Structure 1
């Protein structure tokens, strides 16, 4: 039995994303032009098996699509880590000041609302205390406190675009077959 997976195995959306990413690198490097990128990306979105992806990359050097279920000995080497924003830390990894701010912010909001209501609105400037504390807490966590905010929306848009390309490619192929 061989370690290389069969070309008849079906591919996943993750495999298609990997192939589109690799194809984009080839276009950036100037190996293919925009028209060929469009044709090949439509073929990638319509592909159903690994053999179809292999055929699309047959005349191109690495990078090629990666498959998540390929044994480590066969998988392509991981690209070097590029510097970028750090992954957000989970609450159990927060520093003591972050834990303090996370605990005190809701309490200051409640206290400010109670004070304003109890004194008939005469202490309305108290509201700036929890606002300032909230802004301070946000500066401690940065913009990436929610790791799924933009990534999920972009993923859904990309997946819908791939499906549109796949469908248009299939419609085009049906028109040629008639």
Structure 2
């Protein structure tokens, strides 16, 4: 087992999320494969104490899960990201322009293609503008939060089913 502060202390959902995030980084780095990730993530969702989480990461280098009362690892400060716009009222002028212009461009392009005035590949112009706008301003808004809540519920269900299996 690794040197975990107060291994008998119970962990929170935030600790589990930190552990799942760290485990994902290990999978991305190629230290573990997808099957081992699935096995370890199930153990993380079922873990109750810091010691149990420490055992899961005993053979892996940093990153490890963080705990509320332990200081986060020292790293270079990252620049603060601008908050994602939450709705049309907070959009910048370029965002408003694209939001109004791209749908009109789609309609005009489809009409020109249908009448045979231009070639069908012209449809790539409004598609390109839509992709550009999405890449510049991201996905923002309430849908991201909803996905986070669904993922949390899925992890809790997985944890509970794993605990039931252990009880049998």
TM-score, with normalisation over the residues of structure 1? Answer: 0.57
Give per-residue Cα distances to partners, 1:75-107, cap 9 Å, x unaligned: 322476379x522589xxx9xxx7xx9xxxxxx
- For 1:163, the equivalent position in structure 2 comes to 156
State the distance in 2 between where 1:23 and 1:82 align.
25
Q: Paired residues, what number?
A: 126
Give per-residue Cα distances to partners, 1:8-33, cap 9 Å, x unaligned: 11111111111000001111111111
- For 1:37, the equivalent position in structure 2 comes to 37
**Which runs of 5 or more residues in structure 2 are unaligned?**
101-132
Matches within 5 A, 1:14-53: 14-53=14-53
- For 2:112, the equivalent position in structure 1 comes to none
Query: Where does structure 1 differ by over 4 angstroms across 4 or more consecutive aligned residues?
Result: none
- SS of 2:48's partner is coil
- For 2:110, the equivalent position in structure 1 comes to none
RMSD, aligned α-carbons: 3.4
State the distance in 2 between where 1:5 and 1:169 align.
25
- For 1:107, the equivalent position in structure 2 comes to none
Question: What's the CA shift for 1:65?
Answer: 0.5
**Which runs of 5 or more residues in structure 1 are unaligned?**
102-133
Question: What's the CA shift for 1:67?
Answer: 1.4
State the distance in 2 between where 1:79 and 1:9 align.
30
